[in-house]
Amino acid sequence: MLKLTGISKGFTGVQALSSIDFDVRAGEIHALVGENGAGKSTTIKIIAGAYKPDSGQIEFDGRPVHWVRPADAKAAGIHVIYQEFVLFPHLTVAENIFLGHERRGAFGMIDHARTRKDAADLLHKLGVDIDPDKLVSELTVADQQMVEISKALVHKVKLLILDEPTAVISGREAELLFARLAALKAEGVAIVYVSHRLEEIFQIADRVTVFKDGQHVVTTDIGKVDRHRLISHMVGRDLRDVFPAKRQSGAPGKVVLKAENVSVEGRVRNAGIELRAGEITALAGMVGSGRTELAMGIFGGLPISSGSITIDGEQLAGITPATAIGKGIGFVTEDRKGQGLAMQLDVAANISAANLSEVTSGGLLDRSREHAIARQEIDNYRIACRGPGTPVALMSGGNQQKVIVARWARTSRKVLILDEPTRGVDVGAKTEIYRIMRGLADSGIAILMISSELPEVVGMADKVVVMREGAISGELSGPAITEEAIMSLATQHPVREAAA
């Protein structure tokens, strides 16, 4: 269906693609993977007509093509669903689906009844039950994604490209998406699937292509490569180098935080957890099991309806984020753009945000002091940017995440909570974040990590606490930490006692 041959593309001072080859067959899901900067986004934009290649040949549906603008590629049957949806929240589902291709009746007037019916037919084809008259702003993220796919089906879609489609959904919503993609594949649609989540690649892809530094590394059937080899292709080093060495066995660190019988109304019930200095504790379980809610209760972001939290021997009946920060607890949210970063500010302002007293004097901000701190943290955490004044909006996901970690590491003297710390970042950035986490733990900080990636949990955690349906279902440590054991605890009925 699509064949790229010898495609190169350069920008000022940067060679984004160097004579890459890439092809997609009708009726297949072809995964495109690689670290940030590997050339995936540039390739997508060339396929979609947003960029013109400097050299090379594009063939689509059996003939050479030269897109002048994105509309040409879309008219030919190519549709891209980006991580950030292109939807108008205050228009209805039907209006969004047919925007620019409105159903019209007599005298060119929009035929609203036909628009609603055709939208309902498209949604039914995808197997989803969404009211065409509902405002997009009222939809879940998963349903918004189905609206995006429906927009592709307005035309005869031949090639569907999805860029990090599960960055904003997970669990059952992701499984429903995979089912829709399988149905489109069965109809002969060619699908390019871009994701950092390797478990998804092995679950749904037929073939996988790896790019690195703007060059094609390998294309292979998914059954002919394993996770170990795929990561080696992506990062140029052995999988065993991805996770740093775990804490050496010996006397456990002191308990710095203890939550007892903590309940969060309707979300968590009677949960208990201990965090020890120098130890990485993973909070695992299925999406919706109450992991984030328990962590937010500990930090004070959600009110606890019962139970107590003890920090360094001092029992607190209630806690707020301000109290938690004052006690040396930090929280890296899973939503770095919506809740973690001030996207319109620079690196320096984002790093200092949790402790403004450090960079103010007499109520005035000392920008030179703020920049000096930022330069130190840029070096400490190997943050790739032009300097303290770089807007975080212009940075990659992995470097944005390092900025947040740098912020909280300055204030987290006792406990650092990281909710999905590597979501949406590439393997190379993940390795850096893992190194940072282990370094913080080795310095004596207790780390609480929430993660949906089982290899990450197994590779990083000294101890794993598993939740199911709002309750603790078990605890694992040492050699007992395996993917099978975690899944067993995550899917069985909750129990009060911790499993050794």
- 245 in any annotated domain: no
Which segment of 61-70, 173-182, 252-261 scores lowest on mean pLDDT? 173-182
The pLDDT value recorded for residue 497 is: 37
The pLDDT value recorded for residue 188 is: 92
The pLDDT value recorded for residue 495 is: 39
Which segment of 71-75, 124-128, 280-284, 319-323 scores lowest on mean pLDDT? 124-128
Is the Cα torsion angle 119, 121, 126, 128 positive or negative in sign?
positive
The pLDDT value recorded for residue 104 is: 84
Which segment of 19-23, 42-46, 54-58, 225-229 scores lowest on mean pLDDT? 225-229
| Residues 334, 384 within the same domain | yes
The pLDDT value recorded for residue 498 is: 37
Q: Which of 384, 410, 387, 409 is nearest to 399 (CA)?
A: 384
Is the Cα torsion angle 229, 234, 238, 241 positive or negative in sign?
negative
Q: For 474, left (φ over 0), alpha (ψ -120 to 50), or beta? A: left
Beta bridge partners of 468: 471
For residue 469, pLDDT beyond 50: yes
- 209 in any annotated domain: yes
Burial of 445 (0-12, 13-18, 19+ CB in 10 A): buried
- 464 in any annotated domain: yes
- 141 in any annotated domain: yes
- 379 in any annotated domain: yes
The pLDDT value recorded for residue 196 is: 77
Q: Which of 194, 214, 240 is the last residue of a domain?
A: 240
| Residues 229, 260 within the same domain | no
Write out the residue range of the structural domain in which residue 194 sits.
2-240
| Residues 211, 267 within the same domain | no
Stretch 403-431: mean pLDDT: 83
- 145 in any annotated domain: yes
Return the CATH number at 316: 3.40.50.300
For residue 382, pLDDT beyond 80: yes
- 255-295 pLDDT, tens digit per residue, is 999 998 888 888 898 999 999 999 999 998 876 788 889 99
| Residues 179, 294 within the same domain | no
Segments of 27-151 assigned E as strands: 29-33, 55-60, 63-65, 78-81
Q: Are strands 446-450 and 280-285 parallel, antiparallel or unpaired?
A: parallel
Helix (H, G, I), strand (E, B), or coil: what is residue 464?
A: strand
Tokens of 272: 């208990």
Over the chain, what is the mean pLDDT? 84
